[in-house]
């Protein structure tokens, strides 16, 4: 395994979607450009994913749901549950996102760390989508790498402000994938699923309180699971200014969180593939900077 980190970027992530103030798609290109401008990454570190076969998506999701969504025949009620109206461009972008997380997982095995510039759709269940999540890229990547024989045991560290309920449900009876979710207790989803380890957090928790709790679990978790691969959902909706959060982390707190997770994984020799997860706000520049903290931390830890 080489020492360093790779970045997965999706050139198709440029078309805005409805309600862009809450779910701004141009942020992915802005993120890539910011990382290059600030010298966090070099162009040769960037890899582009391929569109995955639907068979790979169906390792996690039912064929009926996959076909209905990709073909544009998903009923209106199901689209409302997702929260995003169907379009051909969105369906294509969704599949590319999955390819990106699969590629990041593969690259992590070679480089030690790989960071996706998207991903983290952890609210998607096998037969339906929810909470802006259509297909569960983390679960699909886990299944694909296991099917390829590249890994056996996987640990999912989900630090998005919302519980990874879809991921928890998908792997509820599968001991080969350990799900850890550290989330705000009084936030979406209203009905929580049972992860292998859930850590509900109180409203308004600040940097120091958050990091102390994470540190109390992280090392023991890695030692217990001994994963061949860690999948890290680095959602920044934990930020104090996030419109859909309820915690009070600052930029510095989020950066310290990313460094803690990545440095602990590196110290233990565990490869880690990261996705940017959730983040919602009108100020796209501020939001993109928060997402860039994952990549900045990776550059510090692995270079």
Residue 185 is predicted with a pLDDT of 97
User: CA–CA separation, 9 vs 14, rounded Å?
Assistant: 11
pLDDT of residue 303: 81
Sheet with 4-8, strands from edge to edge, namely: 46-47, 4-8, 112-116, 272-275, 229-233, 154-158, 177-184, 197-201
Catalytic residue among 61, 123, 239, 295: 123
Confidence of residue 5 (pLDDT cuts 50, 70, 90): confident
C-alpha span between 158 and 142 (Å, rounded): 14
SS (H, E, C) the chain: CCCEEEEECCCCCCCCCCCCCCCCCCHHHHHHHHHHHCCCCCHHHEECCCCCCHHHHCCCCCHHHHHHHHHCCCCHHHHHHHCCCCCHHHHHHHHHHHHHHHHHHHHHHHHEEEEECCCCCCCCECCECECCECCCHHHHHHHHHHHCCCCCCEEEEECCCCCCHHHHHHCCCCCCEEEEEEEECCCCCCCCCCCCEEEEECCCCCHHHHHHHHHHHHHHHHHHHCCCEEEEECCCCCECCCCCCCCCECHHHHHHHHHHHHHHHHHHCCCEEEECCCCCCCCHHHHHHHHHHHHHHHHHHHC
pLDDT computed for residue 296 by the predictor: 98
pLDDT of residue 17: 44
pLDDT, tens digit (0-9, with 9 covering 90-100), for 235-264: 999 999 999 999 999 999 999 999 999 999
CATH architecture of structural domain 4-302:
3-Layer(aba) Sandwich (3.40)
pLDDT over threshold 60, residue 24: no
pTM: 0.94
Residue written as token pair 């900045």:
296
pLDDT in tens, 83-115: 999 999 999 999 999 999 999 999 999 999 999
Is the separation of the CB atoms in 240 and 248 below 8 Å? yes
Checking if the pLDDT of 15 tops 80, the result is no
The per-residue pLDDT for 11 is 62
Q: Is the pLDDT of residue 13 over 90?
A: no
For residue 180, what are the β-bridge partners? 157, 197
CB atoms within 10 A of CB 19: 12
Radius of gyration of the chain (CA): 17
Residue 177 CA to residue 184 CA, distance in Å, equals 22
8 A C-beta contact, residue 243 and residue 22? yes
The predicted structure's pLDDT at residue 122: 98
Whether residue 162 lies in the annotated active site: no
């Amino acid at each position: 395994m080489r020492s360093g980190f790779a970045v997965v970027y999706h050139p198709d992530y440029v078309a805005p979607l409805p309600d862009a103030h809450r779910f701004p798609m141009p942020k992915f290109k802005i993120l890539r450009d910011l990382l290059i401008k600030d010298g966090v990454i070099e162009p040769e570190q960037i890899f582009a994913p391929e569109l995955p076969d639907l068979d790979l998506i169906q390792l996690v999701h039912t064929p009926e749901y996959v076909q209905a969504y990709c073909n544009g025949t998903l009923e209106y009620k199901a689209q409302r549950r997702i929260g995003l109206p169907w379009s051909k461009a969105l369906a294509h972008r969704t599949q590319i996102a999955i390819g990106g997380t699969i590629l990041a997982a593969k690259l992590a095995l070679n480089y030690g760390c790989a960071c996706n510039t998207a991903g983290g759709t952890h609210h998607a269940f096998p037969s339906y989508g929810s909470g802006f999540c259509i297909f569960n890229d983390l679960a699909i990547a886990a299944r694909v790498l296991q099917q390829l024989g590249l890994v056996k045991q996987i640990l999912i560290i989900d630090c998005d402000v919302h519980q990874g309920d879809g991921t928890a449900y998908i792997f509820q009876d599968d001991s080969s994938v350990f799900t850890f979710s550290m989330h705000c207790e009084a936030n979406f989803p209203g009905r929580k699923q049972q992860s292998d380890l859930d850590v509900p957090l109180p409203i308004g928790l600040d940097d120091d309180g958050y990091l102390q709790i994470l540190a109390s679990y992280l090392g023991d978790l890695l030692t217990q699971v001994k994963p061949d691969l860690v999948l890290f959902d680095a959602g920044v909706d934990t930020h104090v200014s996030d419109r859909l959060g309820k915690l009070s982390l600052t930029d510095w707190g989020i950066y310290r969180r990313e460094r803690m997770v990545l440095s602990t994984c590196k110290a233990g020799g565990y490869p880690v593939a990261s996705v940017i997860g959730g983040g919602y706000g009108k100020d796209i520049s501020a939001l993109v900077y928060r997402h860039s903290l994952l990549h900045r931390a990776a550059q510090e830890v692995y270079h």
